[in-house]
Structure 1
Amino acid sequence: MRLGRVTLAAAALLLLTTASVPDGTPLSQTERHAALSSEAIEPRGAAPRPAVLRANHEAPWGAFVGSWDTYIPDIARMARWLGDANMQVGHTYLAGNGWSDIEGDIAVLGLWSQWRQGEPNRRLVLGVPMLVPNEAGVPDAEVARLLARGGNGEFDQHFLKLARKLVALGGGDTVITLGWEMNGVTYTSRCKPDPAAWKAYWRRIVGLMRSVPGQHFGFDFTPNRGVDAIPWTRCYPGDDVVDIIGMDSYDQPAGGTFDEYVNEPYGLQDQVEFAAKRGKPVSYPEWGLFRNGDNPEFVRRMVEWMRTHDTAYQTVTDYCPHGFWQCDRNPRSAAVFKQLMAGSQGAPAPGTALPGAGRPGGQPSAQAPRR
């Protein structure tokens, strides 16, 4: 989710299969783990279930305060609002209007990388679209064609240029949320039009970026919470090309409860179990309020969840209607967030690579395509 877009989520009463749903139509949120593919999540109660709870701890954390370099000072301002808390994670996005955006503006990437290098335990999280234009309502048939072109290597040079710039600027350990929210309907970088092609293209991009000497990127697979347009397990590209299993989790739909967010199909519980089986940490690159107004209980429960699971990092979305510091609509939630996070020093040093993130430069985990 980003500024200016509305999440499309459904809460129907019928169980639907992928084949019976027209392109672009979200599946019912009540779909119960149908055997849609060999990668589907096992039904609850199947044994053995992995251990997912951790002792209460602080994960590296921060906020999305804006995409461009001009927003970087807001991280320090928000930290002061939180009693000089140590906000260790900066989160930004590439615009995705054209391929030059995917290659990265060198000035913007340079300033974000400079912020990252200001303290040894900071992390930079970068949202990278897989296709452009990324927010233009591109029809499913065209998305499928673009995915195939990407899988055939037509767009390779743009991702190589991005990777080389990041390494040259000191951002070789950037965590990349590649094609985030791929199980939804908003972005061109989505999976439902052709899951097999989407996975092949993801694998190609990761292989390319990991082929750049000096990199140790972390690749974060980050769907929306729940089923949305397609179960996110159908989009999972493989353990060798994923370092972190993320989830964007907002307080929606209207009338939803946190327990429902935990227990819904492909929700928070399924995420942590899916990750634990693969020995990978989880993340929450986007979270915040949305459909239920000023909801301090959601804030409290979400922070508690992140502190008691194997969370690599978390970044709250801090603008209206989602956030607390830059949004005066949510005074009760802001008070709770401030109570929970004020003065937090984040995860202890050393602040090297995120858990599970990256491979040494020149040794990609997936075979790099020829270019």
Structure 2
Amino acid sequence: MNSGSRKHLASVLASLVALAVLAVAPSASAQPLTGVYHGEVFSQPRAIDAYSEWLGYEVTLAQGHQDKDTWENIENPTWQLGAWSRWVKAKPGRRLNYSVSIFPEGQGSLAQCAQGQYDFRFRNLATHMVNAGLQRSIIRVGWEFSGFWMPWYAGNGQEANYAECFRRIVTAMRTSQPSAGFEFDWNPNYDISPAMMTATYPGNAYVDYIGFDLYDQGWQGRYPIPSTCTGQCRLDRWKLNWDVQFAPALTKFRDFAQARGKRLSVPEWGVNDPATTGGGDNTWFVQQMLAFIFNPANNVGYHSYFDWQAGDGHHQLSDVDANGGHTFQTEFPNAAALYKAHFAGTPPPPPGTVTTTRATVSPTTVTRGQSFQVAGSVTASSAMTVNVKYEIRSVTGSTLIVDRIYGNQAFTAGQTRSFNTPFTIGTDKPAGTYRVDTLVYSADWSKTLLYRNDTTFTVN
């Protein structure tokens, strides 16, 4: 999904059953590359660097999408290639994951492409990309072609034309720039039918990655989840939607790729807001996706999280704002905390164990020397005892100012506990921006179950 389109959707410690379904003989695949889409860097020059700061992990693969409006913006989008060139060249090892349009909307066809009428345009694109220093890019030719919303939709008898069109474009770009090291991703949506997969596949000689895009949406009443369905009820909905919609699709793609000796990719994936039939702050979905992606048996070459608030669905986990700062507050704090924990090398808790609401601060503008309240809640999906901690830190330097611990909190399965904590910031502290951090630890303090940066607030 890019910001102008939508696929019709749609554990690191996954259960043994889920792993058994997805497991195959081990392979020697390398660690998957981790990428992100967070807007185009011509309009957000700091976007990817700021995302890496938030994640605590250097992202070396960034995604860009071509427009679908003019041939000029396909052959030679100087405004776009120049900006991505600067990002790629800034540090060694960086690569562009580039979604390339087959033709402008309303100005072409798969049949014309299959006949070779556009070959010269993609030879031009290859040359312009090399001139911009974008060798080694991963190119998604006519991405999401199984979606009827795409101009190059490959259904309705266009399957063979798409396959030939893909071959023509790959050949044109390789012929134009044989030393560029471009890699090509054949990338439908997760729900493509097996018959369409076979009919549109261009052949092993033209494909480096077999990719699928997948977002957490659900149908047949599974999503959206009613507000009264919390704790174990919500976790059961998440699990059911995964088992019905997504686990079979992952098996389908894994088997298809292995039969052809190709690496898988997940060029776009993300949680999704309830307003667009999503599962919301779905930690189960994130755990299962990470489990699949980082299981060497599945031979995933790269994945790219879609960290963006699109018009047709919200997915952003990071705190990166439009200026490359860190003021954005995600709708999915628990999913964000779990995702960050993976890249920090911290194993996440067992699926669905603990979730928290975002802490609130009252009043929203705090006066030094005067008391204010921090409120939040914790839900445990199974019976357990945990320690809950709220910390006040300065945004500049993350210095700990004051904290409050609620020790040995015993939960029954599905129980939610609320916490209302008084704090005071001394007059010896500077005015400025502070934040609340929410932490949950195991009963013996040996494991951090959740560590989340929550609400920022102003102190006078």
TM over 0.5: yes
- 1:310 and 2:292 correspond: no
Contact 1:57 1:307 in 2 (8 A): no
Q: Deviations over 1:156-189 (max 9, x none)?
A: 2221111001111211211101111111111012
Contact 1:261 1:268 in 2 (8 A): no
Contact 2:7 2:144 in 1 (8 A): no
Rg comparison, structure with higher value: 2
CA RMSD of aligned residues (A): 2.7
The correspondence of residues 199-348 of structure 1 with structure 2, limited to 5 A, is 199-213=163-177, 214-227=179-192, 231-254=196-219, 255=222, 257-264=241-248, 267-290=249-272, 291-308=278-295, 309-320=298-309, 321-326=314-319, 328-342=330-344
Larger relative contact order, structure 1 or 2 (CA cutoff 8 Å, min sep 6): 1
Q: C-alpha separation between the residues in 2 aligned to 1:330 and 1:258? A: 18
1:232 counterpart letter in structure 2: M
The correspondence of residues 1-371 of structure 1 with structure 2, limited to 5 A, is 1-9=1-9, 51=24, 53=26, 58-83=31-56, 85-133=57-105, 146-193=109-156, 194-213=158-177, 214-227=179-192, 231-254=196-219, 255=222, 257-264=241-248, 267-290=249-272, 291-308=278-295, 309-320=298-309, 321-326=314-319, 328-342=330-344
Q: TM-score, normalised by structure 1?
A: 0.73
Query: What runs of 5+ residues in structure 1 fail to find an aligned partner?
Result: 11-44, 345-371
Q: Deviations over 1:31-89 (max 9, x none)?
A: xxxxxxxxxxxxxx9xxx99455589742102100134233411111111122x11111
Contact 1:246 1:282 in 2 (8 A): yes
Contact 2:154 2:162 in 1 (8 A): yes
**SS of 2:285 mapped into structure 1:** helix
Query: What runs of 5+ residues in structure 2 fail to find an aligned partner?
Result: 11-20, 223-239, 273-277, 320-328, 347-460
2:315 counterpart letter in structure 1: H
Identity of aligned residues (%): 30
1:280 counterpart letter in structure 2: K
Q: C-alpha separation between the residues in 2 aligned to 1:247 and 1:55? A: 22
Contact 1:250 1:287 in 2 (8 A): yes
Q: TM-score, normalised by structure 2?
A: 0.59
Quote the offset at 1:230 in angstroms: 7.0
Quote the offset at 1:263 in angstroms: 3.8
Structure number with the higher strand fraction is 2
**SS of 1:285 mapped into structure 2:** strand
Q: Deviations over 1:275-310 (max 9, x none)?
A: 112221111110001211110110111111100021
Quote the offset at 1:117 in angstroms: 2.9
1:182 counterpart letter in structure 2: F
Contact 2:7 2:189 in 1 (8 A): no
Contact 1:63 1:91 in 2 (8 A): yes
Q: How many residues align?
A: 295
